[in-house]
Amino acid sequence: MTARTSTDTAREIPEATVARLPVYLRALTTLSESGTAVCSSEDLAAAAGVNSAKLRKDLSYLGSYGTRGVGYDVDYLRYQIAREMGATRDWPVVIVGIGNLGHALANYSGFRSRGFRVVALLDADGQRHGEVVAGVVVRPFDDLAAIVHEHGVAIGVIATPAASAQDVADRMVESGITSILNFAPTVLNVGDHVAVSKVDLSKELQVLAYHEQRKATAEEAAKASAAQEPA
Amino acid sequence: MTARTSTDTAREIPEATVARLPVYLRALTTLSESGTAVCSSEDLAAAAGVNSAKLRKDLSYLGSYGTRGVGYDVDYLRYQIAREMGATRDWPVVIVGIGNLGHALANYSGFRSRGFRVVALLDADGQRHGEVVAGVVVRPFDDLAAIVHEHGVAIGVIATPAASAQDVADRMVESGITSILNFAPTVLNVGDHVAVSKVDLSKELQVLAYHEQRKATAEEAAKASAAQEPA
DNA sequence: TCTTGTGAATAGATTCACAGCA
DNA sequence: TGCTGTGAATCTATTCACAAGA
């Protein structure tokens, strides 16, 4: 079954490109708000922190939305990327685990402005039930299936401790959720049809520490070598 | 200047490998806590969520710490990776911007257990000064340079709104910080000698939404095509 | 016999450099 | 003329498959 209809939009967009599209979207929004109507690939690349060849290659996977000799219409390009990303739709999400991080996520305005609507906050701890966070009441974790069904939730966010994350993921999958954003520091085992994305708050810090350490040892080595062999 | 001394440990570790080492470290800690003394590349790969060939290739950049026919000594390998990553050292860090996210970061136990010590919490808002978060007093942003100097801080974390992030970064660089972890949704411009790493809370969600949307349209297309050409 | 460590093969991402078009 | 869009070249990462060694 490799037949394709003419309405088919199945251009294959590389994963690395998909990961950068949100960055371009953000940069275009900033440009638009500062009153820029048209920009070159060079301008947009600078605003997004990439080089212009990469930007043009990325955009070429979506289609041909620029004008040679001129550049890109900021609002038009922004709309095209938003549509491709699904950012023009409304995405109901549930957040499970209302500790410090869950609080921060519930209050994060960046979700709302990108089409994500927090329809429920769930926590297994009865002490928290009834508490209102960011205008949403915290409810029992057992309400998950009902909420997913009622609102047609496809995306779930896990902000629990590592120990409960796999259980939460299993229940999410049972309830019909097919995409999970996992902030718990653990690897989740889910079926192939479920997409899991992971954010590890300390991983990035560890990578920075690695490079710091390399810088430090490289300097020491250079100093020692200069002392030993003073050319 | 390409001369190398014999004590030089300048094996070049690929960036993709460096990004996975924290994951292996976490998996090894879990294995160790569950009483596993020795594991195969297959075991560790499963615990880390990668395939075993990739794991072995990654470890081979660090050296040869396994035993053929047997596997890896969990604690020994864990120590070797930790040392390579700089996780056996103490890394003083400052967090700037003590809103919801700053609170969550200050309270995150995963930093402390990986060698990161929060030596200061800074905020420009005078209302917050004196407040104690996770056992640390919130101080004025202007104390930055003094704190960096006093504790030898190399790594700074930005958890401010986008609008102030560039100013904070500039001040951090002036003060001598050389690695920045940026949670603000904006691209930072810093000199070449400064490493910046960015975590975008909504980016991952947007990538998931993209894949959700693709799944949905693929299903629709299949349905439509089945209706039109009922083989 | 079993599992690591690693060259060779493959796949994927980035960059170059320029043809094509406004 | 100037900037996009894109093949071709390069660089990086992943996977394969097996020799080396406990």
DSSP class per residue in A5-47? -TT-------HHHHHHHHHHHHHHHHHHHTT--EE-HHHHHHH
Compute the distance between CA of residue A182 and CA of residue A156 in angstroms, rounded to an integer: 8
CATH no. for residue B38? Answer: 1.10.10.10
Domain count, chain A: 3
Compute the distance between CA of residue B91 and CA of residue A216 in angstroms, rounded to an integer: 13
CA of B68 to C1' of D20 (A): 9
Nearest-Cα distance to chain B for A49, in Å, is 6
Confirm whether B3 is domain-assigned: no
User: Do B33 and B114 reside in the same domain of the chain?
Assistant: no
- Of A61, A85, A109, the position where a domain reaches its end is A85
Determine the structural domain holding residue A34 and report its residue range.
15-85
CB of B70 under 7 A from strand C? yes
Interhelix angle for B52-62 vs B74-85, to 10°?
A: 60
Tokens 């975008």 label which residue?
A: B200
- The more confident residue out of A129 and A12 is A129
Contact B178 A204 (CB under 8 A): no
Nucleotide with the nearest C1' to A67 CA: D4
Q: Does A210 touch chain B (CB under 8 A)?
A: yes
User: Do B139 and B112 reside in the same domain of the chain?
Assistant: yes
User: Do B178 and B210 reside in the same domain of the chain?
Assistant: no
Confirm whether B215 is domain-assigned: yes
- pLDDT, mean of residues A94-121: 96
Mean pLDDT of chain A: 93
Longest dimension (CA), chain B: 76
Of B209, B214, B216, B177, nearest to B194 by C-alpha is: B177
Confirm whether B4 is domain-assigned: no
Compute the distance between CA of residue A135 and CA of residue A123 in angstroms, rounded to an integer: 16
pLDDT at B230: 60
User: Do A192 and A98 reside in the same domain of the chain?
Assistant: yes
pLDDT digits (tens, 9 = 90+) for B124-172: 999 999 999 999 999 999 999 999 999 999 999 999 999 999 999 999 9
Confirm whether B1 is domain-assigned: no
pLDDT at B229: 64
Provide, rounded to the nearest whole percent, the portion of chain B with pLDDT above 90: 87
pLDDT digits (tens, 9 = 90+) for A31-52: 999 999 999 999 999 999 999 9
Confirm whether B228 is domain-assigned: yes
- Of A34, A57, A85, the position where a domain reaches its end is A85
pLDDT at A1 over 70: no
User: Do B173 and B97 reside in the same domain of the chain?
Assistant: yes
User: Do A48 and A109 reside in the same domain of the chain?
Assistant: no
Contact B207 A18 (CB under 8 A): yes
Confirm whether A210 is domain-assigned: yes
User: Do A74 and A135 reside in the same domain of the chain?
Assistant: no
Q: CB pairs below 8 Å between A and B: how many? A: 203
Q: Which nucleotides of D are covered by protein (CB under 7 A)?
A: 1-7, 12-17, 20-22
β-strand pairing of A116-123 with A91-96: parallel
Compute the distance between CA of residue A200 and CA of residue B23 in angstroms, rounded to an integer: 9
By C-alpha distance, the chain B residue nearest A103 is: B100
CB of B67 under 7 A from strand C? yes
User: Do A175 and A217 reside in the same domain of the chain?
Assistant: no
pLDDT at A221: 76
Nearest-Cα distance to chain A for B66, in Å, is 22
> Which among A116, A202, A229 has the least Cβ separation from residue B110?
A202
Mean pLDDT of chain B: 93
By C-alpha distance, the chain B residue nearest A1 is: B222
CATH no. for residue B129? Answer: 3.40.50.720
Tokens 């820029």 label which residue?
A: A36
pLDDT digits (tens, 9 = 90+) for B40-83: 999 999 999 999 999 999 999 999 999 999 999 999 999 999 99
Q: Does B109 touch chain A (CB under 8 A)?
A: no
Tokens 């095509």 label which residue?
A: B225
User: Do A97 and A187 reside in the same domain of the chain?
Assistant: yes
Confirm whether A105 is domain-assigned: yes
User: Do B63 and B100 reside in the same domain of the chain?
Assistant: no
User: Do B192 and B209 reside in the same domain of the chain?
Assistant: no
pLDDT at A183: 97
Beta carbons of A100 and B103 less than 8 angstroms apart:
yes
- Of B54, B85, B116, the position where a domain reaches its end is B85
Confirm whether B97 is domain-assigned: yes
A 147-176 residues inside an 8 A Cβ radius of B: 154-155, 157
Mutate to test the interface with B, among A206, A210, A219, A223 (most CBs of B within 10 A): A206
pLDDT at A4 over 50: no
User: Do B116 and B181 reside in the same domain of the chain?
Assistant: yes
Q: Output b/e per residue, B145-155; b: 16+ Cβ within 10 A.
A: eebbeeeebbb
